[in-house]
Amino acid sequence: MEFLNEIKRRRTFGIISHPDAGKTTLTEKLLLFGGAIQEAGAVKSNKIKKSATSDFMEIERQRGISVATSVLAFIYRDKKINILDTPGHKDFAEDTFRTLTAVDSVIVVIDVAKGVEEQTEKLVEVCRMRNIPTIIFINKLDREGKDAFDLLDEIEQKLDLKVTPLSLPIGMGYDFKGIFNIWEQNIQLFSDEQKQTIGKKLTFNSISDSKLEKAIGSAHLELLKEELELIEAVYPKFNKKAYLDGKLNPVLFGSALNNFGIEELLNCFIEIAPEPLPKVSEERMVNPDEKKFSGFVFKIHANMDPNHRDRLAFVKIVSGTFERNTPYLHVRQNKKLKFSSPNTFFAEKKEIVDVSFPGDIVGLHDTGNFKIGDTLTSGEKIKFKGIPSFSPEHFRYINNKDPMKSKQLSKGIDQLMDEGVAQLFILNLNGRKLIGTVGALQFDVIQYRLLHEYGAQCSYENINVYKACWIEADEKSSSFKEFKRVKQKFLAYDKKGQLVFLSDSSFSLQMTQDKFKDLQFHFTSEF
């Protein structure tokens, strides 16, 4: 019984946004409300500033922070909340995609003035593909921004999400009076002109309550009434099942900087957000309430200290309990491993934990056993699905600059690829190594880390590749043989030995797809 209660009280989610929309501020405010930190400013931003793209100390600083903020856990109204941090910088988008495989829901932060931005679109697309329950928080209402209804339209159109507003701003920017909470049927008002502090909260029975007019004035009240009618006419009523199925997305308004709408967001979140969900493995569906432990690695973090080469593998617990000093099966390597000091994360502190439950994240010290996507179980041979590699957007040959250090270079490349920093492809024709990344910044990161952590030097050489496609085909078919013959210059193998076609332009990709119709071209490694 206690086991089931522990599962039920967990909420594991991620906050995603375009940089600068207010993800760090919101995270911090949630921790403040949860009593996990005492003062603002405690959570450091892990974003790499634009001006610092070639500043490696900045990259290291960011890596340091991202260990500390990988998982931020706190208790709020008896719920154990796990926030999984996602990097804001677009060059690290693949990290975010992988973290999204470990969340049960997400909150998307949108800047009221900027609306839906590029990075939000990309990240929400991944959430939509997986039907991850999504709440939208529109931030910075203390500033002048877009009209609430225009924004709701923009979200529906650009993000292809069905929305239902659960709160509504009264005024905005200079004229911002507060938030009408449709969910709880109350109003939170700003208390002063500087818009710095939260004022009183007003609870009322109906929109005609005289307290309301006194508080916001007749003009605002009339507008509010009209807007509420519009909401009722245009938007579907909130429906928990539709939200949990990823088909309806609640929208709330507020200002993270001014603590406005945060408590409301948190209250709404713990009431509606899903507890740990079942997860598909290649063999079967695994339910959280199964007694036997299972989990998977969604992130690996290398030690910042080059003298200690151990790494921290982040495991999301899917079912059963994870216990310290208990042997578990590393399914890919088919060997048992025991962990004497698994870490749990509380606010920003790491602690050794004896027992963890589904929904929790444990950090396991690893000396090179784990790769992203690995499954760990009590003994059953299952493999969790859902951590694909995406086709990289930048490609370069990687060369060894110091022939005396070729072993160090291979080891370094191997380990960095296991961490998911980039993808390695080996050309079929001549065995040359090619690195593919989501962002250009990763090439600098790899070069820097190879030198500082492995003592190896590499150089890059440009290659014209537009996209990598994973090929699925009947290996005996004549068209596959023909494809391999004609395209041999463009074929490579990824780290798992899967065949990859490196097309040099979108035109040639289209031509090849048209010519070899019975081959399948996949843009992710999992199909």
> Quick one: which of 11, 47, 177, 316 contacts ligand G4P (CB under 6 A)?
47
> Quick one: which of 12, 17, 319, 442 contacts ligand G4P (CB under 6 A)?
17
Per the structure block, which two tokens stand in for 349?
Answer: 């502190």
Packed helices 148-159 and 218-234: angle between N→C axes, nearest 10 degrees? 20
Q: Where are the beta strands (DSSP E) in 441-480?
A: 458-462, 467-472
> Quick one: which of 79, 140, 279, 433 contacts ligand G4P (CB under 6 A)?
140
Owner of token pair 């296991």: 418
Residue 257 interacts with ligand G4P (CB under 6 A): yes or no: yes
Q: 452 near 302, Cβ under 8 Å?
A: no
Residue 29 interacts with ligand G4P (CB under 6 A): yes or no: no
How far apart are CB 123 and ligand G4P at their closest, in Å? Answer: 12
Q: 105 near 134, Cβ under 8 Å?
A: yes
> Quick one: which of 66, 82, 119, 139 contacts ligand G4P (CB under 6 A)?
139
Per the structure block, which two tokens stand in for 267?
Answer: 């209250």
Residue 23 interacts with ligand G4P (CB under 6 A): yes or no: yes
How far apart are CB 447 and ligand G4P at their closest, in Å? Answer: 26
d(CA 304, CA 151): 42
In the 8-state DSSP scheme, what is residue 505?
Answer: S
Give whichever of 104 and 142 is closer to ligand G4P, judged by the CB atom.
142
Classify burial at 367, counting beta carbons within 10 Å of its beta carbon; exposed 0-12, middle 13-18, buried 19 or more: exposed
Packed helices 118-129 and 148-159: angle between N→C axes, nearest 10 degrees? 60
Q: 145 near 111, Cβ under 8 Å?
A: yes
Residue 145 interacts with ligand G4P (CB under 6 A): yes or no: no
Please name the residue ranges forming H helices in 100-147: 118-129
- How much of the chain is helix, strand and coil, in % rounded to 5? 30, 30, 40
In the 8-state DSSP scheme, what is residue 486?
Answer: H
In the 8-state DSSP scheme, what is residue 325?
Answer: T
Per-residue binder mask for ligand G4P (CB under 6 A), 81-100, x = binder: -------x------------
Give whichever of 65 and 242 is closer to ligand G4P, judged by the CB atom.
65
How far apart are CB 112 and ligand G4P at their closest, in Å? Answer: 9
Question: Which one of 165-173, 250-258, 421-429, 475-483 is the stretch in contact with ligand G4P (CB under 6 A)?
Answer: 250-258
d(CA 138, CA 252): 6
Closest CA to 106 of 88, 132, 86, 126: 132
How far apart are CB 259 and ligand G4P at their closest, in Å? Answer: 9
> Quick one: which of 45, 287, 410, 479 contacts ligand G4P (CB under 6 A)?
45
The strand pairing partners of 249, in sequence order, are 163
In the 8-state DSSP scheme, what is residue 404?
Answer: G
> Quick one: which of 12, 24, 423, 428 contacts ligand G4P (CB under 6 A)?
24
Residue 276 interacts with ligand G4P (CB under 6 A): yes or no: no
Owner of token pair 């001006």: 51
How far apart are CB 385 and ligand G4P at their closest, in Å? Answer: 30
Question: Which one of 14-22, 31-39, 334-342, 398-406 is the stretch in contact with ligand G4P (CB under 6 A)?
Answer: 14-22
Give whichever of 138 and 435 is closer to ligand G4P, judged by the CB atom.
138
Residues 431-470 that bind ligand G4P (CB under 6 A): none
Question: Which one of 23-31, 182-190, 429-437, 514-522 is the stretch in contact with ligand G4P (CB under 6 A)?
Answer: 23-31
Residue 167 interacts with ligand G4P (CB under 6 A): yes or no: no
Give whichever of 132 and 257 is closer to ligand G4P, judged by the CB atom.
257
Q: Which residues of the chain form contacts with ligand G4P (CB under 6 A)?
A: 17, 19-25, 45, 47, 88, 139-140, 142-143, 255-258
